[in-house]
Amino acid sequence: MTPFHFGDPRDARPNERRIEVPAHLATKTELLHFLARAFPLPAYFGHNWDALEECLLDLDWLKDPQVALIHHDIPLAPTPKDQQLYLRILAQAAKTSPRLHVTFPAPTPATIEKLLAK
């Protein structure tokens, strides 16, 4: 069972910032650049998976009390290995921090479970 929410994004909680990840982000570079701008991630963010994991597992740098990261699809469809890495980082971060809420569309739970099981 993943720590993600599925379906329509829930109503924002007070003090919750919503970051909507656009559909069809196909490359790691596109996704990491989007996240770096949208949060914004700290200046030391290195635009790689290790750096994303480090930033999301320790949200002390985050000014917002809570963030909802809302996906309109599962990014990185052309590269399942990158999808898997991204989902694992998000799952760990969502389990670790009650400040981060991650939402995916309703039809995606089985696909996400399959990717995380690999």
In three-state secondary structure terms, 49 is helix
Residue type at position 90: L
Q: Which two tokens stand for residue 20?
A: 């909507």
pLDDT, residue 97, reads 92
pLDDT tens series, the chain, 118 aa: 789 999 877 666 677 899 999 999 999 999 999 999 999 999 999 999 999 999 999 999 998 889 999 999 999 999 999 999 999 999 999 999 999 999 999 999 999 999 999 8
pLDDT, residue 4, reads 94
Angle at 67 between CA 63 and CA 69, to 5 degrees: 135
Q: Which two tokens stand for residue 64?
A: 């917002």
In three-state secondary structure terms, 42 is coil
32 contact partners, CB below 8 Å, separation of at least 6: 47, 48, 52
Go through the domains of the chain in sequence order and give each one's CATH number. 5-117 (3.30.370.10)
Nearest of 118, 101, 114 to residue 3 by alpha carbon = 101
The verdict on whether omega for the bond into residue 9 sits within 30 degrees of 0, i.e. cis, is no
pLDDT, residue 93, reads 97
pLDDT, residue 88, reads 97
Residue 86 to residues 7, 13, 91, Cα–Cα distance (Å): 19, 25, 9
State how far the Cα of 8 lies from the Cα of 109, in Å rounded to an integer: 13
pLDDT, residue 10, reads 64
Residue type at position 69: L
